Amino acid sequence: MKPSVESRTPTPVKIIIAGGFGVGKTTAVSSISEITPLRTEAAITTASEDVDRTGHVPEKTTTTVALDFGCITIDDDIKLYLFGTPGQDRFGFMWRDLARGALGALVIVDTRRIDECYPAVDYFEKAGLPFVVAVNLFEGRLSHAVADIRWALAIGDHVPLITFDARAKLSVRDALLTVLRTTLERATSQ
């Protein structure tokens, strides 16, 4: 069989969906993606954190991190990809790779475990990538005041802090729009 060839190739753009484990990254991607989210794995090399009992110097180990993603066709020429990635310090290497060329990032927070998003916030802050912090309203209401969350995360006023529902398509759309408006603001102020 000789495969036949079509001709369109859209320009890909991407937004990173980050946050701690189980905060709703995959749920958010599924809510708005036009394809069933796909999953792929990336191998990352990390130094193990603990010195073992025999006192050996930590060895480098290879861990596999799942990356799931979906996409939205913007128009004939542009295709938006959403990459969901677990955020941990030791995945920094993968993030650098993933974030290169991204339009921005959505950092999802579960207020019951606020600290889990620190590495992501920290990373995007340092990388200079426009990002928005989005509180996933698991229980339908906030368990902390927004100002407290902002304080706990130590994010400046330039970082939008919103609430959303990862299960609702339009809510995810609006969260992504907040990311893009932050990107736009950055682009026009340069």
Partner 1 sequence: MPDRDVSLLRPYLLTSGRTEPIDRNLEIETQVLTSELGAASYAGLSFERRDIVALCTKTMSVAEVAAILGLHIGVARVLVADLAALGYVVVHRPIAGLAGDPAMIERIIRRLEAIS
- Binding to partner 1 (CB under 8 A) within 59-88 occurs at 64, 67, 69, 71-72, 74-75, 78-81, 83
The SS3 call for residue 2 is coil
Total residues at interface with partner 1 (CB under 8 A): 54
Nearer of residues 170 and 187 to ligand GTP, judged by Cβ: 170
Q: Give the Cα separation of 125 and 39 in Å (integer).
A: 27
CA–CA gap between residue 100 and residue 179 (Å, rounded): 16
Rule CB under 8 A: choose which of 14, 23, 27, 86 binds partner 1.
Answer: 14
Q: Do 51 and 15 form a contact (C-beta atoms < 8 A)?
A: no
Least Å from the CB of residue 111 to partner 1: 26
The dihedral sign for the CA sequence 34, 39, 40, 44? positive
- CB of 131 within 8 A of CB of 95? no
Task: Tell me the C-alpha distance between 16 and 120, whole Å.
Answer: 10
Interface mask (CB under 8 A) for partner 1, residues 107-146, using x and -? -----------------------x----------------
Residues making contact with partner 1 (CB under 8 A): 1-14, 32, 38-43, 64, 67, 69, 71-72, 74-75, 78-81, 83, 97-98, 100-104, 130, 169-170, 173, 176-177, 180-181, 183-184, 186-188, 190
